[in-house]
Amino acid sequence: MADVRDKNFYKLIEILKEKPRSINEIATALEINWRTAESYLTLLRTLDLVKEEADSNSRIFFYKDKNNYFGLPVKPKDEKIIKSIYALIKKFSNKEPTKTQVYKIIWKVNKQFNLGLPIGWYRFGPCCEIIYQGDEESQYDFPKNQISFIKETTEKYVEMDNFALQRMIYTEDDNKLYLTKENLLSTQDTKPNEILMDLIKYSPKESIEATTDFVRAVLLVGWDRETKECFNDLWKYITMINYKDTLTFYHENISVYMDNKIIKAKKDAQSTILNTVKTYMDSKHSQDSRYQSWKKKGNQKHS
């Protein structure tokens, strides 16, 4: 019977982090028989650390890392590099860094030295797959020039306000979608037409339907507290798509991990937008007998 203390159990986790595999591939890689491989996978299922997908006549197993965003697995060699950078950031900080600061620092380091680490763009910009905990230990020896760059970048970024740091990164990367988000959140205009058109222009194609619904809602209701709440849900949906798109270079099978979550995020965003419009219309026409009669008939039809 498989046991978490078995060395092969941890070897299995390591090879699944590298890429998804079938039972036969696992058995071959670990030099064990099929039934033993199945017992290890059963244990991983019990711990909710593996996802199974059918592929032709075989089953493919995907590792789910609970310490990472969306359960995405990171290759062991890259995991060591990331956690070692986190440890250096902590060491070079004169105060506890925020996750925002840490992710922007590692993004800068990754970009400077072309490390190929899994860092995608999510809700607040660059976001490393491995969640920063603050207790990471160095497991990797960096060249002196990289250590100096990490130190210099850390000392600069940890002194910056999160929002100022985010805008600086968006500007440096010339990321028009994220700059449009900043412009929308900072505007005092109740009908920011030009910004809304930019939001549609720069949003991922997959999100255009929901984004257009949101823009119509703002043009009807105005840019106020209710539509800002709508935008929170819409932005989560948009940036989940963006996160997936910016990480396809690292994960060939990222759809297995993210597509269902993206579908749910889209439904949540559309539901919030629809409810906001309904609430606005009900309030605007509260004294309109014809509207109230039409609404009553519609409710009876769907009850």
pLDDT of residue 237: 98
Query: In this predicted structure, what is the pLDDT of residue 186?
Result: 96
Residues sharing a CB contact under 8 Å with residue 156, sequence separation 6 or more, in sequence order? none
Place of tokens 């309030």: 283
Structural domains in the chain plus CATH codes: 7-64 (1.10.10.10), 70-172 (no CATH), 176-286 (1.20.5)
Q: Are 82 and 119 in contact (CB under 8 A)?
A: no
- Average pLDDT per run of 10 along the chain, which is 303 residues long? 66 93 92 89 91 84 94 96 98 96 98 98 98 95 97 97 96 97 96 97 97 96 95 98 98 96 98 94 62 48 45
Please tell me the distance from the alpha carbon of residue 274 to that of residue 87, in angstroms, as a whole number. 45
The predicted pLDDT at position 291 comes to: 44
For tokens 């711990």, name the residue: 47
pLDDT of amino acid 300: 47
CB 237 within 8 A of CB 210: yes
Are 136 and 90 a contacting pair, CB within 8 Å? yes
**4 contact partners, CB below 8 Å, separation of at least 6:** 43
Q: Which two tokens stand for residue 74?
A: 């990171």
Closest CA to 51 of 252, 254, 240, 257: 257
* Whole-number pLDDT of residue 9: 84
pLDDT at 54: 84
Q: How many residues does the chain have?
A: 303
d(CA 205, CA 232): 19
Q: Cα–Cα distance between 17 and 3 in angstroms, integer? A: 19
Q: How far apart are CA 31 and CA 202, in angstroms?
A: 50
Q: How far apart are CA 289 and CA 8, in angstroms?
A: 72
Do 107 and 169 touch, CB atoms closer than 8 A?
Answer: yes
- Spatial neighbors of 237 by CB under 8 A, at least 6 apart, are 207, 210, 262, 265, 266, 268, 269
